[in-house]
Amino acid sequence: MYLPDVELHEPRSLAQASALLSEHGASARVLAGGTDVLVDLKTARTRAAHLVSIQEIEELRGVHPWDGGIRIGAGTTINELIASPRVRDGFPPIVEAARQMAAPQVRALATVGGNLASAVPCADLPPILLVLGASVEIFSGEQRKTLPLDAFFTGPRRTVLAPRDLLTAVRVPQMGPGFGAAYARFALREGNAIAVASVAASLRIKEKNIIQEARIALGAVAPVPLLARQAANLLVDRPAEADAFDAAAMLAMRAASPISDIRGSAGFRREIVGVLARRALNTAHVRAKETLR
Ligand SMILES: Cc1cc2nc3c(=O)[nH]c(=O)nc-3n(C[C@H](O)[C@H](O)[C@H](O)COP(=O)(O)OP(=O)(O)OC[C@H]3O[C@@H](n4cnc5c(N)ncnc54)[C@H](O)[C@@H]3O)c2cc1C
């Protein structure tokens, strides 16, 4: 497995990167950490004559405050995300998901933007970011736009990004009192194994333990990371307790449309979704209650 001949471009601004992507069209790919795209080039899953590296674009790095929440630059590595005090203190469920990704060596290169833009259904960050109500920033030539993360994925390995577009950041709103979230995943081993199934859940509870707001997201069991809306809606205005979580977990299982592969059958994956949904909801509930103490 050798890397084919490619020309490497190292622009220093978004405008230069976007211009290069426009110039080379279908023969160009964005290179962030390279942990997906270089493997894909070596195995001929994808072809490219030009790689436009975004590693030198300062604007894409780091975690910054944004409107009470945070703005995570697309070029932030997973290890930088885990080490960020802003994420660790304000958004621990993101760290929980990021720590389960790959292994430290891969996380040193892999970026947040790459994890989303690769649009692999089993990626670990999309489910937790979906239940946190994240949105994405896109740079398209001279234009910038923002859209909900839920509208970003269009199919396996496909997103709304046009060839010259760059994902620049992820915005995560403030969680606030009464809010808790959790990520639960099942993989065949702990390190360097992609998820067989994953579930993220978030709850906002008000007085008397009543659920005000709920989200449940599924990974690795549908063509895209998926919000299980019916399952989450069932929880709203109900007491946060085991019966409600069981009922929501059943609906989450129904929302899944898994495939069978070497990691597990479709039936097994669906069962696992039920187990993980209960686990994620219970943990999210405990965390939500802690914020009200
Ligand atoms: C051994 C190994 C284990 C792994 N385990 C896991 C795991 O457990 N969980 C998991 O989720 N992933 C895993 N991965 C996959 C991978 O590490 C992650 O998806 C990673 O976050 C990709 O980021 P990157 O910066 O390396 O992306 P790259 O490989 O550089 O890019 C990925 C894709 O996104 C595009 N892209 C990247 N950044 C942008 C941008 N800002 N704008 C537009 N397009 C962009 C690229 O063109 C390419 O198509 C693993 C990979 C390896 C090699």
239, part of any domain: yes
Ligand 1 centre to CA of 251 (Å) is: 30
Same domain? For 212 and 162 the reply is no
Q: How far is the CA of 66 from the centre of ligand 1 (A)?
A: 25
Please say whether the beta carbons of 113 and 74 come within 8 A: yes
Question: What's the gap in Å between 112 CA and the centre of ligand 1?
Answer: 8
Ligand 1 atom 18: residue of nearest CA: 115
190 and 286 inside one domain: yes
245 with 232, same domain: the answer is yes
63 and 42 within one domain: no
**Among 125, 148, 172, which residue terminates a domain?**
172
> Beta-strand (E) ranges in the chain?
7-9, 28-31, 50-53, 63-66, 69-73, 135-140, 143-148, 153-155, 158-159, 165-172, 179-186, 197-206, 210-219, 226-227
Q: Report the CATH number that the domain containing residue 47 is assigned in CATH.
A: 3.30.43.10
CA distance 12 to 15: 9
Q: Are residues 287 and 190 in the same domain?
A: yes
- What CATH number is attached to the domain comprising 274? 3.30.390.50
Q: How far is CA 199 from CA 73, 210, 221, 277, in A?
A: 24, 22, 10, 6
In a domain, 177, yes or no: no
- Domain of residue 274 covers 182-292
Same domain, 40 and 118: no
Ligand 1 cavity residues, CB under 6 Å: 29-37, 39, 54, 74, 101-102, 106, 109-111, 113-115, 117-118, 123-124, 161, 166-167, 192, 194
Give yes or no: residues 18 and 113 share one domain: no
For residue 2, being part of any structural domain is answered with no
In a domain, 121, yes or no: yes
Q: How far apart are the C-alpha atoms of 41 and 116, rounded to whole Å? A: 18
Which two structure tokens, joined as six digits, stand for 282?
């219970």
Last residue of a domain, one of 117, 148, 172: 172
CA 116 to ligand 1 center in whole angstroms: 8
By alpha-carbon position, which residue is closest to atom 40 of ligand 1?
167
SS3 148: strand
Residue by residue, pLDDT tens for the chain (293 residues) are 788 899 999 999 999 999 999 999 999 999 999 999 999 999 999 999 999 999 999 999 999 999 999 999 999 999 999 999 999 999 999 999 999 999 999 999 999 999 999 999 999 999 999 999 999 999 998 789 999 999 999 999 999 999 999 999 999 999 999 999 999 999 999 888 999 999 999 999 998 999 999 999 999 999 999 999 999 999 999 999 999 999 999 999 999 999 999 999 999 999 999 999 999 999 999 999 999 98
- What number of residues does the chain have? 293
Tell me, yes or no, whether 222 and 157 share the same domain.
no
Indicate if 217 and 281 belong to the same structural domain.
Answer: yes
Residue 1 within a domain: no
Cβ contact 55:32 at 8 Å: yes
Find the 81 Cα to ligand 1 centroid distance in Å.
14
Phi, psi of 64 (to 5 degrees): -125, 155
Clarify whether residues 64 and 167 are in a common domain: yes
Domain CATH code at residue 97: 3.30.465.10
- Ligand 1 atom closest to Cα of residue 29: 47
Residues 153 and 80 in one domain: yes
Give this prediction's pTM: 0.97
- Total tally of structural domains belonging to the chain: 3
Which of 15, 35, 53 is the last residue in one of the domains? Answer: 53
In this structure, which residue's CA is closest to atom 6 in ligand 1?
102
Tokens 């994620």 belong to 280
Q: What pLDDT does residue 1 have?
A: 77
Indicate if 157 and 235 belong to the same structural domain: no
CA of 51 to the centre of ligand 1 (A): 14
